[in-house]
Structure 1
Amino acid sequence: MSTTASVRRAPLPLFGKAFRDTWRSLIGWIVGLSAAMFLYLPLYPSMAGTNSQMQQLLNSLPAQLTKTIGYDDISSGTGWVQATVFGLIGFLLSCIAAISWGAAAIGGDEEAGQLELTLAHGVTRLQIVFERYAAMLAKILLLGVWVFLVISALNNSAQLNLNLGNLAVGSALCAGLALLAGSAAFMAGALSGRRIWGVGAGAFVAVVGYIFNALGNQSKDLDWLHAVSPYSWAYAAKPLANGFEGWPFLGLYGLSLLFLIVSAFALRKRDVGV
């Protein structure tokens, strides 16, 4: 009499492994974002009121300069959160996290010689792309949810008076910006098999998008730069004040999806480890 043992494979094994391998970095980024929000947001009543010294200083600066750096509306709670969190430190930290995850997902793994070993375990290239991208997406969305929860918790005590629905939209757009940068890093890693190319591509999307938005704010002659700036797609309509608009989501998340498709096609067609 013989017995056969059936071995069940865990659902989405690569997703689970990618998530487990990077949970410490996720916690680190959550702590960093939390520290920034707890530092900046409670300062609003004393720093950003209409009669505050900071507002008076900004009023003495050229209007185009304050608009360029995103400090043209910090007397309101929505403007303060946009300028300090979504437009600056939250954007910066979220993008750095996403780029590091995206660049390491395929490019970093191949560079370390681990991708060939993974393929030897009977998984397909498409499975690697989609499950590892899903892990990156989940972590970025978790960062976005955490940002929403922390700002919501500080909303009353910091006298921000934010509409929570609009805050959810702003958090989703901040996550979308990070996802786009991370997706560019993911795609470049899949195309090249090198982590450094992924980091470069992701940084290019984030930094150039920010610079194009700043330049577009300075002059009407450069206003066309807003059309090619993902940063401007996300924030030009002032989502914290005005709420949901569909086209920023379509641009950020749609382009991220396109990068995923290119990644899948690239890894499927090229040789690995050469």
Structure 2
Amino acid sequence: MTSTGNAVPLSAHAFTRSVFTKTLHDNRRIFTVWALATAALAMLYAAYYPQVSANTAAKIPDALRGFGLSDTADAAGYLQGAVFGLLVPLLATFYGAATGARMISADEDSGYLDLVLAHPVSRTRLLLQRYAALAAGGVAIAAAVLLAMLAVRSGAHLGAVSVTGFAAQAVHLALLMLLFGALGTALGAATGRPRATVFGVTAAIGVASYALNGFAPQIGADGLRYATPFHYYIGTHPLTEGFQPLPILTMAAATAVLLAVGAWRFDRRDLGR
């Protein structure tokens, strides 16, 4: 009788401890594909640098210079524009939007969320542990990109960029993914909207802020860039300036605020509506 009586609490305790690891396990293929695809594309574009001619920068349309494509003849300038200014941040945005929409909205869509919350795990703990798995995936993607850059650094003549610069850029990339992941998670938790809607809204906000950061100089509104996460991601030039407290703390603080608001609303929202 004693062993039978202890079976349910033990199982429930194991569930609460395994939310993070279970989320990692359930999404392992998704995280792996994102890491490999993002690293491969970044490596491909970085390896193209030796083919860039000295007059390439002169051929770049003025409208694209706000995205970092201004000094492509320089290794750091090329990477900041073609790799970390155009391709990689969009992938990071969509990773955060797609994965964030999965954390709460997917289960609420399917009706599985009520079953999950029937276990002795609070809504806030569920949200934070699932987000922690999303964050681990984002860190893994950034690490894969860093390793890819270091792998081609010598062969692609990118030695002018230090290892510290690449590491700083990888940290900024991880923080960008974590920020949009927090936005997607918070939107789903706070509103209860379907997964597709949460993904669409998060991605739209990401693309709009990306475009604003890029086109603001063309409309004489450089100050608007400070309202976008992309300025703190790439505008502070981590490839050449290395680690800087302000952009890192700004993105981390924005992420924390989004999670706090999402958790607060999720804890008080009627899931049955």
- With normalisation by structure 2, the TM-score equals 0.90
In the alignment, the residues of structure 2 paired with residue 66 and residue 212 of structure 1 have an alpha-carbon distance, to the nearest angstrom, of: 12
Aligned partner of 1:252 in structure 2 is 251
**1:60 Cα deviation from its structure 2 partner:** 4.2
Within the candidate set 127, 130, 147, 1:129 is matched to 127
Aligned partner of 2:24 in structure 1 is 19
In the alignment, the residues of structure 2 paired with residue 202 and residue 125 of structure 1 have an alpha-carbon distance, to the nearest angstrom, of: 22
Aligned partner of 2:214 in structure 1 is 214
**1:155 Cα deviation from its structure 2 partner:** 0.8
Indicate conservation of the 8 Å contact 1:176/1:249, yes or no.
Answer: yes
Aligned partner of 1:111 in structure 2 is 109
**1:34 Cα deviation from its structure 2 partner:** 2.6
Indicate conservation of the 8 Å contact 2:66/2:217, yes or no.
Answer: yes
Per-residue Cα deviation, 1:101-142 (whole angstroms, up to 9, x for no partner): 101101121111111010112221111111111111111111
* SS in structure 2 of the partner of residue 263 of structure 1: helix
Give me the CA root mean square deviation.
Answer: 1.9
* SS in structure 1 of the partner of residue 39 of structure 2: helix
Aligned partner of 1:230 in structure 2 is 229
Structure 2: any 5+ residue segments left out of the alignment? none
In the alignment, the residues of structure 1 paired with residue 241 and residue 57 of structure 2 have an alpha-carbon distance, to the nearest angstrom, of: 24
Residue 14 and residue 245 in structure 1: after superposition, are their counterparts in 2 closer, same or farther (change >3 A)? Answer: same
Per-residue Cα deviation, 1:37-89 (whole angstroms, up to 9, x for no partner): 23211111122xxxx1xx42431455x43412421021111112222221122
* SS in structure 1 of the partner of residue 129 of structure 2: helix
In the alignment, the residues of structure 1 paired with residue 171 and residue 60 of structure 2 have an alpha-carbon distance, to the nearest angstrom, of: 32
Q: Are 1:82 and 2:67 an aligned pair?
A: no
Indicate conservation of the 8 Å contact 1:215/1:225, yes or no.
Answer: no
In the alignment, the residues of structure 1 paired with residue 232 and residue 242 of structure 2 have an alpha-carbon distance, to the nearest angstrom, of: 14
Instruction: Give the partner amino acid of 1:218.
Output: Q
In the alignment, the residues of structure 2 paired with residue 254 and residue 27 of structure 1 have an alpha-carbon distance, to the nearest angstrom, of: 27
* SS in structure 2 of the partner of residue 4 of structure 1: helix
**1:198 Cα deviation from its structure 2 partner:** 2.1
In the alignment, the residues of structure 2 paired with residue 247 and residue 179 of structure 1 have an alpha-carbon distance, to the nearest angstrom, of: 17
Indicate conservation of the 8 Å contact 1:184/1:198, yes or no.
Answer: no
- With normalisation by structure 1, the TM-score equals 0.90
Per-residue Cα deviation, 1:124-167 (whole angstroms, up to 9, x for no partner): 11111111111111111111111111111111111101211111
Indicate conservation of the 8 Å contact 1:216/1:225, yes or no.
Answer: yes
In the alignment, the residues of structure 2 paired with residue 57 and residue 143 of structure 1 have an alpha-carbon distance, to the nearest angstrom, of: 30
Within the candidate set 86, 97, 100, 2:98 is matched to 100
Residue 3 and residue 252 in structure 1: after superposition, are their counterparts in 2 closer, same or farther (change >3 A)? Answer: same
Aligned partner of 2:156 in structure 1 is 158
Aligned identity (percent) is: 30
Indicate conservation of the 8 Å contact 2:146/2:170, yes or no.
Answer: yes
Indicate conservation of the 8 Å contact 1:103/1:189, yes or no.
Answer: yes
Per-residue Cα deviation, 1:158-214 (whole angstroms, up to 9, x for no partner): 110121111111111111112111111111100111223421332133212211111
**1:4 Cα deviation from its structure 2 partner:** 3.1
Deviates more, 1:130-139 or 1:93-102: 93-102
Structure 1: any 5+ residue segments left out of the alignment? none
Aligned partner of 2:45 in structure 1 is 40
Instruction: Give the partner amino acid of 2:206.
Output: A
**1:259 Cα deviation from its structure 2 partner:** 0.7
Indicate conservation of the 8 Å contact 2:60/2:70, yes or no.
Answer: no
